[in-house]
Amino acid sequence: MQEFWIIGGGKFGRRAAETIGRAGAAAEILIVERDARRCRRLKDSGFHVIEADGIEFLKNRLVNPLQKQWIVTAAPVHVAYEWVWATLSDSFQIEPFAMPAELTCQFPNAMRGAEGQWYASNADFICPPDCSESGSVCSFTGRKRAQSMHAFIRHIHAPGVKIMVVRSYQLAPGVGGLRPRDLYEALHQIRMARPSFILATACKCHAVLNSFNIKSNP
């Protein structure tokens, strides 16, 4: 039986749980949500829910790269980046820096987020919620995808900055998931190859990216 941890129990988290549940394969689905009222509504609808902050939950429960859970990110934050920050904060200082314009100008349909992160997308339209992300052709437009975003970002030339990409894999229509081993590989690279990083989470079409410096605590 596959196990799924859905981080965030809002509109997108609930839809992810419903979609995975309809996919047919045996699945154990856990929604992690910090809002008590939202948790009660989800429990009343029959979902398995833990009332907790999603990043703290991952910090405490994601302890081994060989774990088999799929991590579905449905919270309004860059979950991989926040997990790295939380995991390393006891030993390292992480300091965000503004991503250089010579990099952001390479991102397709780039948009800056409210907390300094950047978003990139192959699409200049709102994707349907049940996108299959299959093959090299956009399921909505029928046109060939310009590039696979995770591979494109991984190969951007960024002098003095190491780019790490955690790939989001399609689990069900409109639902992507991260593998623990990929998160731990990013964590290992960041810990060993300081100081300047861009960490991205990306599927074939979309990405969220954060830039930061890291140094040991004094």
Rounded to whole angstroms, the Cα distance separating 117 from 23 reads 32
Residue ranges and CATH numbers for the domains of the chain are 1-76 (3.50.50.60), 78-218 (no CATH)
**Amino acid identity, position 40:** R
Q: What is the pLDDT of residues 185-199, one digit of tens each?
A: 999 999 887 689 999
DSSP secondary structure, 145-208, as one string = PS--HHHHHHT---TT-EEEEEEPEEEETTEEEB-HHHHHHHHHHHHHS-SEEEEEEE-SSEEE
* Tally of CB atoms within 10 A around 77: 17
Q: Is 61 exposed, middle or buried (0-12, 13-18, 19+ CB in 10 A)?
A: middle
Helices (H), ranges, the chain: 11-22, 36-44, 54-61, 79-88, 101-104, 149-154, 180-192
Residue 124 contacts residue 140 (beta carbons within 8 Å)? no
Q: Is the pLDDT of residue 134 over 80?
A: no
Q: Read off the pLDDT of each residue in 143-155 and give the average, rounded to a whole number.
A: 91
Model confidence at 136, pLDDT cuts 50, 70, 90, reads: confident
Tokens of 10: 């809002």
Q: What is the pTM of this model?
A: 0.93
Q: Which residue is it, tokens 């596959």?
A: 2
Q: What is the rounded average pLDDT for all residues in the chain? A: 92
Span 69-81, pLDDT tens digits = 999 999 999 999 9
Contact criterion met (CB below 8 Å) for 42 and 33: yes
